[in-house]
Amino acid sequence: MARSGSRGVRRRGSRLAAVQALYQMELADKTVEEAIDDFHARRLDSVGDVGEPITPETVDEPFFEEIVRAVASGLDRYDGELEQALERRGIDRVEVILRLILRAGAYEILDRPDIDPPLSINEYVAISEAFFGGTQPTFVNGVLDRLARETAGDEQG
């Protein structure tokens, strides 16, 4: 099937869908495969939880699956890196949706050098804005920005 949405639109849809799938895994104790299958069975061609359409035109399915699989398999590593970026606040003390957004963002910053970190940060800030008002998007921006700067510093040193 031809994709009519731009790559950027599909990638944003993938990120949103991945956060939703990770949420299903967290709260309903689903496996990676169950969460991905649930997405394909129920979410595709429906409207996302935050009102954005999730259709074949708005989701890059391989990128969605990649994010979900990577975050699930690298959980300890991403949480460890986020713990450092959070400084005095433990990742387990972060609200569940924010924690999942941060994990997905950490995956892109740490393991996708082909994606510019400021782009990933902006995308996950936008996703956090879809779920929250107030200071949460600023929090996501600060943590992911700190992680990106620390990662860039490690590569230079």
Write the DSSP symbol of residue 39: I
List all residues 6 or more positions away from 138 whose beta carbon is below 8 Å from its beta carbon. none
Question: Length of the chain, please?
Answer: 157
Confidence tier at 124 by pLDDT (50, 70, 90): very high
Helix (H) or strand (E) holding 135: none
Distance CA 51, CA 69 (A): 24
DSSP per-residue string spanning 42-93: IITTEE-TTS-EE-TTT--HHHHHHHHHHHHHTHHHHHHHHHHHHTTS-GGG
33-37, 45-49, 143-147: which range is least confident on average?
Answer: 45-49
pLDDT in tens, 29-40: 999 999 999 888
Average pLDDT score over the chain: 87
> Among the ranges 26-40, 87-101, 106-120, which has the highest mean pLDDT value?
106-120
The answer, yes or no, to whether residue 141 has pLDDT greater than 90, is yes
Taking the domains of the chain in order of start, what are their residue ranges? 1-73, 74-157
Across 92-120, average pLDDT: 96
d(CA 63, CA 59): 8
C-alpha–C-alpha distance, residues 105 and 123, integer Å: 9
Q: Which of 57, 61, 81 is nearest to 69 (CA)?
A: 61
Q: Which residue is associated with the tokens 């230079």?
A: 156
Q: Which CATH architecture has domain 74-157?
A: Orthogonal Bundle (1.10)
Interval 68-74 mean pLDDT: 98
Can you give the pLDDT at residue 120?
97
Answer whether 58's CB lies under 8 Å from 15's CB.
no
Determine the residue type at 1. Answer: M
